[in-house]
Amino acid sequence: MSNAASGLTPSSSSANDRSFFIAIGVVSAGALALLAWLLLIRRGGAGMGVDLRFMPAVNAGLNATAAALLLGGWVAIKRGARKAHQNLMVSAFSASALFLVGYLAYHFVHGDTRYVGDFRGLYLTLLASHVLLSMPVLPMALVAFYFSWRQQFARHRKVTRWLAPIWLYVSVTGVVVYFMLRGGVPAVS
């Protein structure tokens, strides 16, 4: 359905766009602020009698699932299977959202896990790229969903050309970081 058919005029469309982008900015800034507070200021250790040491494995599984769903979504859209693509991308977003909840919960309770392996330089480089590239994933994914919902597919494609490789990289490196942290070392915070 076109914007005209849905009753949206160009001016109401741009007003809706502006409102949505402001909301995305607020949500994204709030998520980053919470994460920064949790990791840099609070540094975990709430305890509360909760043991979430199993969560890093769950989170790695969610990252791997998101990566597989992203690849499936890319294949689906290349084959013209738009509905399958939509379902796979919503599922990938859900897996990534569940990862974020699990990640925040784990770090709220246990704080950071230190890398003790022999490849510290490689680990820190990989972790830095993972963290920095993860920051735009949430706002870009929300923008991509918004453009798809508004049936603005040219704009959707412009965003996803950047989003897809970044999101895939972040999902895959999340799994790699997990295995580097756990490489033969017991899962202890």
pLDDT at 177: 95
Q: What is the pLDDT of residues 113-160, one digit of tens each?
A: 889 888 999 999 999 999 999 999 999 999 999 999 999 999 999 999
Ordered domains of the chain (ranges, CATH): 10-182 (1.20.120)
Q: What is the pLDDT of residues 52-81, one digit of tens each?
A: 889 999 999 999 999 999 999 999 999 999
CA atoms within 13 A on the CB side of 151: 7
189 pLDDT above the threshold of 50? no
Cβ partners under 8 Å of residue 141, min gap 6:
93, 96, 163, 167
Q: Report the range out of 15-19, 98-102, 181-185 with the highest average pLDDT.
A: 98-102
The identity of residue 113, as a single letter, is: T
Q: Look over the chain and give the mean of its residue pLDDT values, rounded to a whole number.
A: 87
Tokens of 84: 């399958």
Q: What is the pLDDT of residues 27-51, one digit of tens each?
A: 999 988 888 887 777 766 655 678 8
> pTM, whole model, 2 decimals?
0.84
14 pLDDT above the threshold of 70? yes
Nearest to 143 by CA among 7, 28, 1, 4: 28
Q: How far apart are CA 64 and CA 67, in angstroms?
A: 5
94 pLDDT above the threshold of 50? yes
Nearest to 64 by CA among 100, 31, 92: 92
pLDDT at 168: 99
7 pLDDT above the threshold of 50? no
Nearest to 133 by CA among 110, 163, 160: 163
pLDDT at 77: 97
pLDDT at 110: 84
